[in-house]
Amino acid sequence: MSQEIKDHKTGYYSSTESFGAVDGPGIRLVIFLQGCFFKCKYCHNPETIEFKHEKTISVDEILAMYKKNENFYKKGGITLSGGEATAQIDFCIEVFKAAQAKGINTCLDTCLGTYQEIPAVQEKWKELLKYTDLILADLKHIDNEKHINLTSRPNTNVLQGIKFLDDNNAKMWVRHVLVPGYTDDEQDLLKMGKFVGTLKNMERFEMLPYHNMMIPKYENLKMRFYLKDVEPPTKDYVVKCREIVERGMQIKKSNLNI
């Protein structure tokens, strides 16, 4: 049954992971919040896309979960993911504010889909950044039309959002999922490299290989999976594509033309 939230200390979520190892530095408590504006063809968590209001979790409950296993999180912390966590940005602010007050490292996994160059939205993001130690910025495609085909939404605000984070000194890891036939065009990868090469506060660029382990989720949810015939890339191919991005990153900002 849907539950109405009356304050920002409670949010809607899909699931949690107690020992996340790929959602920021160290071992982390990961909260997958419910709802996303993108409809990525390779979404790993399709159960989080719909804006359901069935399950709630509070700031205090998250901190209690962290406390339960805190010995494992000494080099880790709390990550808010999704779905798109910033669809519930006020809740994110409350979680991270409370976590940082207890010395807990905070990490936001985001596709920047909610960012807009509107002062009120930017101020909300600035408030969130006060309490965020690391951003995992998911850059799905550098080409706008291909981004629309892949996610159902344009990438204009995503690129603006990443630049906004950089201008506001947010520590970032930029992530790109390599999907053969969709996100591996050489010119696109070179163009992506040119873009991320201008970022002053990007600590790391990660090339994540597409996988198809989420297919059973789609079958259980009776959702169409568009990439059934796409084979995951080999390690050598991932390395080759990453090298193209790195080549683009070496090109001076004065040559940037995107």
Q: What is the pLDDT of residues 124-163, one digit of tens each?
A: 999 999 999 999 999 999 999 999 999 999 999 999 999 9
Structure tokens at 33: 């919040």
Angle at 81 between CA 153 and CA 18, to 5 degrees: 155
pLDDT at 7: 78
Residue 153: which CATH number? 3.20.20.70
The answer to the question of residue 121 being in a domain is yes
Contact between 157 and 110 under an 8 Å Cβ cutoff? The reply is no
The answer to the question of residue 150 being in a domain is yes
Confidence grade of residue 1 (pLDDT, cut at 50, 70, 90): very low
User: What range does the domain containing 30 cover?
Assistant: 10-181+210-232
Q: Is residue 34 in some structural domain?
A: yes
Residue 54 lies in a domain: yes
Once rounded to an integer, what is the mean pLDDT over residues 180-199?
Answer: 97
For residue 5, name the pLDDT band (cuts at 50, 70, 90): low
CA 166 to chain centre: 16
| 72 belongs to a structural domain | yes
Task: Please check whether residue 3 lies inside any domain of the structure.
Answer: no
In a domain, 35, yes or no: yes
Residue 94 lies in a domain: yes
Q: Look at the pTM and tell me if it is higher than 0.85.
A: yes
Q: Considering its fold, how many domains does the chain have in total?
A: 1
Closest by alpha carbon to 100, among 132, 68, 134, 54?
A: 132
CA–CA distance, 258 with 250 (Å, rounded to integer): 15
